[in-house]
Amino acid sequence: MNDNKPFSLLYPDSDSEGYRKLTESACHDLALDVLCAELTENQKEQNMIMNVISKMTASKETAEYRKQIFKDILDLPELRKKMSELFDKIEYIRKFGSSHIDTDEKLGFWHLMHRLDELDDYIKCVEAMKECLSDNDIRSEGLISFRKYVDDLYNEACFAEMKKDITELKKKSSDIQSVTLGINVNDRFEAVSMGLVSVNSKPFRKSNIVSSFADAIASKNRIHEDCEWNGDMHYHQIEKAGSGFISNIQTMGAFTAVTSNAFVDGAVRSTVVNSPEGDNTTNSTWYLDNIMNKILDSLVKKLRDVLTKYSNIAVVNISGIMPEFVYYIRFAEFIEKKMKCGFRFCEPKISENETVSMKAKDLYNLRLALTMEKPDDIVYNDLDFDKEHSIYILTGANRGGKTTITQAVGLMFVLAQGGIYVPASEFIFKPADCIYTHFPADEDKTLDLGRLGEECVRFKDIYSECTENSLVLLNETFSTTSFEEGYYIARDSVRALLKKQVRAIYNTHMHKLAESVEEMNAEGTSVKASSLIMKNENGKRSFKVEIAAPKGSSYAKDIAEKYGVTYEMLTGGN
C-alpha cells in the first residue's frame, strides 16, 4: 500500500505488460465479439471483457489465480449480489457527483459540503465491502489479497479519522443558524463596505423595524463608539421572510448595490458594497456563498484539506477494481444460467504432465450454446494434444462440423486462461501464449494480393510470431488455388509447424494432406501430426471426431456441394 502499487484481480503481478493480444480477426474467428454481447448489453462492459479475454499469456500462475477468483464469485452468489450493488453506488456517485470538478478553488462552501456527503457515502461503501469480503467461504488467493488490500486502504487512509472529520464538520456547519454582518457608512449614510460581525448558532428574531431603527439613532447612547458588537442589539429585518434582502442586489455600473432597503431612498440605492461586477454577485446564492467562504475560511480550508486527502483514495483505488469484478460477475451470471439449463461446464485444470498440453472430454462449441435454451442438440467430443498428436489434419464432409470444433478448441483456451469454467466435463491444459487463426478472409482484404497471396502473407506472419506454446487454428488454408498447388503449400506449412512444435488444428478438404502425415512424421521431429476425421454414421453427419485415416477422396465432391455445382443441385434433381 505504501508504495501505491495498484492491485489487480486479473494480473497477479499487477502488470498486464508482456501479454500477447489476439488480433481483431482472431477475436472475430473465435466469435469473442458474439460472446461478449451475450454476457452484457453494456457496450463499455463488452469492450472491457473483450480487452481481458483477448490478452493471452502462457503463465500457469495467472490462469490459476483467475480461476480461483472466478470459482469464489460463482459459488458465492450473495457476495456477487452485494458487490454489484456497492459498485453501482460507487459508479453513480462517481458519474453524477461533483468530485470530477478539477479544483476546489471553483467551489463554494455549500458545494464543498455536498462533496463531503459524497465522500461519506464512499466510506460507507468501503466499509460494506470490508464486511462482504469477511465471508469465511472465500478461498481464492485473489479475493483474500483484495480483502487485505481494502483493510490496508481503510487503515492507512485513516478512514476512521475521516468519519470523525465528517461528523465534526457537518455538526459545525449545521450549527450555523445566522450570520451577523456589519455595514460601514459615510457621512451621507451611504454604505461603503460590508463585513462579518459574528457567526451564530441561533437565528435572529424579528423586531419592529421603524421603532428599532429610530431607537438606534435617536439617542447618542445607542450609537456605539466602536465597531464591537456587545450583543445588546436587536434584529432589524428589512423585509418579510422569503422576500430576500440579499436577493435584491442590483448591478449598477461596475459595482453591486442594495436596492430593496425600506429606509434607503433612490440616491442611496446606488450605494456600493465593494463587490465588483466581475465576480458575478448578481446571484444571491453565490453572493451569500462568497461571504460564507470568506467568513468561514478556516472551516472551508479544513474541508478542502479533507477532500484532497481522501478523494483520490476513494475514487481511484476502489473504482479501479470495479471493472475487474464486473468481468468475473458477468461470466458467473452467464455460466450459472447455462448450467441451470443443463449445459455442461467444468473447472479447467493446469496440466502437470509435460507431454500433455490438452486433454478435453465432452467438449462442445460454446458459440452454439449461446442461443440455445436446452442442450438437447449438443454433440460432445473428446480431443487431446500431446507429443503424438500435436497437429491435427481435420477432414470430413462439407458442413460436417470441422469449423465448429476448430473454433471450439480456441474458445476453450480463451475461457480457461481467463479463469472461466469451460464447456466440457473435463479440461486439462497447458496455457497458450497466444492463439493464431487463419480463416478465410473477406473479399475486400484480398483485392491487392489475390486470395492465395493474401493467405500466404498471413500464414508467414503467423509462423514468424508463434512459438511452441502457441495454438494455431487453420481453416481451409490454401484451398483457393488448384488442388496440387494448395497441397504442396499446405504440406510445407505443416512440416514447418511440426519443426516449431506448435499445437495446431488444420481443417481442410485436402484429404491427401491428411494421408501424408506418416511421411511428414518420418522426418524425425519431436512431435507428430495426426489425421482427424469427422465421422459419418450410416451416411449421415454425426459431428463427432475420430483419429483415423481420411475416408476417401471427397474433396471435389465437397467443394462442388459447397458451391452448388453438383448435377442434382444445378438441375434441381430433374
CATH number at residue 378: 3.40.50.300
Distance CA 539, CA 537 (A): 5
- Identify the pLDDT of residue 450: 73
User: Is residue 248 one of the residues assigned to a domain?
Assistant: yes
Mark whether 132 and 182 lie in a shared domain: no
HSE-CB for 443 with a 13 A CA cutoff: 0
Residue 74 structural domain: 57-172+300-326
pLDDT at 279 over 50: no
CB of 118 closer than 8 Å to CB of 62? no
Sequence letter at residue 420: I
User: Is residue 537 one of the residues assigned to a domain?
Assistant: yes
Mark whether 93 and 218 lie in a shared domain: no
Mark whether 165 and 266 lie in a shared domain: no
3-class DSSP assignment, residue 437: strand
Mark whether 114 and 223 lie in a shared domain: no
Mark whether 374 and 487 lie in a shared domain: yes
User: Is residue 284 one of the residues assigned to a domain?
Assistant: yes
* Complete DSSP assignment for 283-307: SHHHHHHHHHHHHTHHHHHHHHHHH
User: Is residue 52 one of the residues assigned to a domain?
Assistant: no
Q: Is the dihedral of CA 334, 335, 341, 344 positive or negative?
A: positive
Residue-wise burial string across 421-450, b where 16 or more C-beta atoms lie within 10 A, e elsewhere: bbbbebbbbbbbbbbbbbbbeeeeebeeee
pLDDT at 132 over 80: yes
Convert the pLDDT of each residue in 371-383 to its tens digit: 888 899 899 999 9
CB of 360 closer than 8 Å to CB of 426? yes
pLDDT at 384 over 90: yes
Long-range contact pairs involving 191-199 (C-beta distance under 8 Å, separation at least 24): 191/258, 191/268, 191/271, 191/272, 191/273, 192/271, 192/272, 192/274, 193/273, 193/274, 194/273, 194/274, 196/291, 196/294, 196/295, 197/229, 198/229, 199/295, 199/296
Mark whether 137 and 269 lie in a shared domain: no
- Identify the pLDDT of residue 139: 94
Please report, for residues 246, 250, 273, 280, the alpha-carbon distance to residue 253 in angstroms, rounded to integers and kept in the order given. Answer: 18, 10, 12, 13
pLDDT at 86 over 70: yes
Which of 341 and 233 is assigned the larger pLDDT? 341
Please report, for residues 17, 24, 54, 326, 327, the alpha-carbon distance to residue 46 in angstroms, rounded to integers and kept in the order given. Answer: 21, 15, 12, 10, 9
Mark whether 101 and 219 lie in a shared domain: no
Lowest mean pLDDT among 100-104, 137-141, 402-406: 100-104
Give me the percent of the chain exceeding a pLDDT of 70: 70
pLDDT at 1 over 50: no
What is the arithmetic mean of pLDDT over 16-39? Answer: 93
pLDDT at 105 over 90: no
- Identify the pLDDT of residue 571: 76
User: Is residue 484 one of the residues assigned to a domain?
Assistant: yes
Mark whether 182 and 156 lie in a shared domain: no
Sequence letter at residue 224: H
Give the number of other Cβ atoms within 10 Å of residue 278's Cβ.
7
User: Is residue 337 one of the residues assigned to a domain?
Assistant: no
Convert the pLDDT of each residue in 168-190 to its tens digit: 766 666 677 777 777 787 887 77
User: Is residue 36 one of the residues assigned to a domain?
Assistant: no
Phi and psi at 321, nearest 5°, equal: -90, -20
pLDDT class for 254, splitting at 50, 70, 90?
very low
What is the arithmetic mean of pLDDT over 540-547? Answer: 88
pLDDT at 564 over 60: yes
User: Is residue 81 one of the residues assigned to a domain?
Assistant: yes
Q: Residue 157 has what DSSP assignment? A: T
Mark whether 275 and 371 lie in a shared domain: no
Mark whether 390 and 407 lie in a shared domain: yes
Mark whether 433 and 502 lie in a shared domain: yes
- Structural domains of the chain, count: 3
Give the number of other Cβ atoms within 10 Å of residue 118's Cβ.
18
Mark whether 246 and 102 lie in a shared domain: no
Distance CA 497, CA 145 (A): 41
